């Protein structure tokens, strides 16, 4: 989407303003695609929080390949962390020391990492790359709609007429921050209303407005703000929700010190207050680190990028702690994304230039807390043009979350994105099965069971014809291996399940085919 068109489509929506905690809040109204996306028709109480890291995050400085430290130092000796400072996630993979709070969440099963996420033929323009991520398009296709906006328009083509209603009194999505996400742009208008002000939280609750200059123009501005506040259809419901709950976590930093934490604090309060909103969009800027990514004195554990990563980790950790204290941890999952990563090789300005794929985080008690994918393979002598190879298409992450969290049908996902994408189990298998129907459960058997340690089992499965994946997960729902991953013909199948390398204990064997997914206990003796 062109920036000028985007601003025109959202200008009317962003004219009004109401604030929580001094932050502008954009409330996206009831609309077709987002209702489908949030499964509102089945009264789902699930919440998805999207965190945009604006500028292009250097994923190689965030999730570090410990098994390739020599190649990493050769490529970025002027900015690379001291090897001893890297915090371990797995035997081969580490995380920046500024993100100790996220390492702790990972170890406690509340964070997953997806390696090398991007798309084929990447674009290195901030604006175009952001359009691609928010529209869900291929790099050679320009869409003027967001992936959620298309969903909204198809489900509720009459928007905004008739909403809010007694059945749907709340906004279905809320954006916190001054940037209105293109994710919810519809074919004609943005599928919701945005509130953009710098008022404080008490002004929203009291109905106050920002002070304006004591001039004729200032008096007019005050009047316009008052009129806009009176016509903001979701102000009352947001006020009511904010008044019904308080944050409980002591981990939030002082207001104003961490903008993302301030935003997530509001999300937790509104969810706890009973707002039935399904999607929250937060944002954090500053990731365009072409220069002085580390201090001018050279590579250390500090610097600009370290500060950003520390604030991200601090914010997510406080949010997760709050959700647990509020009893909401099983209702909320989160996702981070940035428009692109950075190059493998650093530049002479102690920074990194625009690159392609990068890791992202999923967070929440229902995520699959593993590192999905392998560490990117670094060349022994990286050039200035070398990029991280793609492992996961970003649309695979979107569609997998929509399928498991909101039970969106594969046919709907294919229509939304124009094609199908491989499934990635970023959520625990029980999450999808708990809310699924019998039609979504793949029937199969495993024999022998128990299996001798180091042995092999067989999965007997009646395939409908299509792509089938067989995975083994540990007792916490973390995927430990993929035993089978390819298309099958329709009919009875017997699939090999090699369990070499697995320690004795209880596991889950999971079979996935299209919209169907099933799990069986598997014991290794």
CATH of the domain at 282: 3.40.720
Query: Do residues 79 and 182 both lie within one domain?
Result: yes
Residue 41 lies in a domain: no
Q: What is the pLDDT of residue 179?
A: 59
Q: Are residues 378 and 477 in the same domain?
A: no
| Statement to judge: residues 198 and 66 lie in one domain | yes
477 part of a folded domain: yes
User: Does residue 487 form part of some domain?
Assistant: yes
Task: Give yes or no: residues 516 and 409 share one domain.
Answer: no
Determine, yes or no, domain membership for 444.
Answer: yes
Residue 297 CA, chain-centre distance (Å), reads 34
361 and 458, same structural domain? Answer: no
What domain count does the chain have? 2
Where among 403, 428, 453 does a domain terminate? 428
> Taking the chain (525 residues) in consecutive chunks of 10 residues, what is each chunk's mean pLDDT?
39 42 54 45 73 96 96 95 95 96 96 96 96 94 83 68 75 73 73 46 51 70 53 76 93 93 92 89 93 87 95 98 96 97 96 97 95 93 93 92 84 87 84 46 78 90 86 75 88 89 84 74 81
Cβ neighbours of 431 (radius 10 Å) = 23
Residue where a domain terminates, one of 428, 452, 468: 428
- Residue-level pLDDT at 220: 65
Q: What is the DSSP string of 238-291?
A: HHHHHHH-----TTSPPTTS-HHHHHHHHHHHHHHTT----EEEEEE-----SS
Q: Do residues 332 and 446 share a domain?
A: no
Q: Could you say which of 380, 402, 428 is where a domain stops?
A: 428
In a domain, 118, yes or no: yes
Q: What is the CATH number of the domain that holds 513?
A: 2.60.40.1930
The answer on 441 and 408 residing in a single domain is no
Q: Can you give the residue range of the structural domain that contains 519?
A: 433-524
Residue 165 lies in a domain: yes
* 464 and 491 fall within a common domain: yes
Asked if 489 and 413 sit in the same domain, the reply is: no
Residue 336 domain flag: yes
Tell whether 173 and 260 lie within a shared domain. yes
33 phi and psi, to 5 degrees?
Answer: -70, -35
Kindly state whether residues 424 and 439 are assigned to the same domain.
no
The pTM assigned to this predicted structure is 0.77
């Amino acid at each position: 989407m062109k920036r000028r068109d985007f601003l025109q489509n959202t200008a009317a929506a962003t004219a009004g303003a109401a604030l929580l905690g001094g932050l502008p809040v954009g409330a996206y109204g009831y609309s077709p695609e987002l209702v489908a996306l949030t499964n509102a028709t089945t009264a789902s109480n699930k919440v998805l929080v999207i965190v945009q890291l604006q500028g292009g995050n250097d994923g190689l400085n965030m999730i570090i390949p410990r098994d390739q430290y020599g190649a990493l130092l050769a490529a970025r000796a002027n900015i690379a962390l001291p090897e001893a400072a890297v915090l371990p996630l797995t035997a081969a993979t580490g995380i920046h020391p500024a993100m100790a709070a996220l390492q702790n969440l990972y170890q406690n099963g509340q964070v997953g990492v997806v390696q090398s996420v991007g798309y084929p033929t990447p674009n290195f323009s901030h604006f175009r790359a952001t359009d691609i991520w928010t529209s869900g398009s291929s790099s050679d296709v320009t869409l003027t709609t967001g992936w959620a906006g298309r969903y909204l328009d198809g489900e509720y083509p009459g928007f905004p007429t008739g909403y809010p209603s007694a059945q749907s009194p709340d906004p279905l999505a809320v954006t916190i921050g001054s940037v209105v996400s293109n994710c919810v742009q519809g074919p004609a208008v943005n599928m919701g209303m945005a509130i953009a002000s710098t008022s404080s939280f008490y002004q929203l609750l009291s109905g106050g407005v920002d002070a304006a200059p004591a001039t004729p123009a200032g008096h007019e501005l005050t009047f316009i703000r008052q009129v806009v506040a009176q016509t903001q259809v979701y102000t009352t419901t947001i006020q009511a929700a904010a008044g019904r709950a308080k944050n409980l976590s002591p981990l939030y930093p002082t207001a104003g010190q961490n903008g993302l934490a301030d935003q997530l604090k509001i999300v937790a309060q509104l969810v706890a207050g009973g707002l039935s909103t399904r999607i929250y969009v937060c944002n954090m800027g500053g990731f365009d680190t072409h220069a002085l990514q580390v201090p001018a004195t050279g590579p250390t554990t500090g610097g600009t990028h370290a500060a950003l990563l520390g604030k991200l980790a601090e914010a997510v950790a406080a949010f997760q702690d709050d959700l647990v204290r509020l009893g909401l941890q099983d209702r909320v999952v989160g996702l981070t994304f940035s428009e692109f990563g950075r190059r493998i090789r650093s530049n002479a300005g102690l920074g990194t230039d625009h690159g392609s794929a990068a890791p992202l985080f999923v967070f929440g008690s229902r995520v699959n807390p593993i590192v999905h994918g392998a560490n990117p393979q670094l060349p022994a002598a990286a050039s200035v043009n070398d990029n991280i190879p793609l492992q996961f298409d970003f649309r695979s992450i979107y569609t997998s979350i929509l399928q498991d969290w909101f039970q969106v049908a594969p046919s709907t996902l294919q229509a939304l994105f124009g094609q199908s994408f491989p499934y990635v189990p970023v959520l625990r298998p029980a999450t999808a099965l708990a809310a699924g129907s019998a039609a979504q459960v793949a029937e199969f058997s495993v024999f022998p069971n128990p299996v001798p340690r180091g042995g092999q089992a067989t999965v007997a499965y009646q395939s409908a014809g299509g792509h089938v994946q067989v995975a083994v997960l540990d007792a916490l729902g973390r995927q430990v291996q993929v035993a089978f991953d390819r298309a099958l013909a329709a009919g009875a199948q017997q699939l090999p399940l090699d369990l070499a390398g697995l320690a004795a204990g209880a596991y889950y064997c999971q079979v996935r085919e299209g919209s169907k997914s099933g799990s069986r206990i598997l014991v290794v003796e």
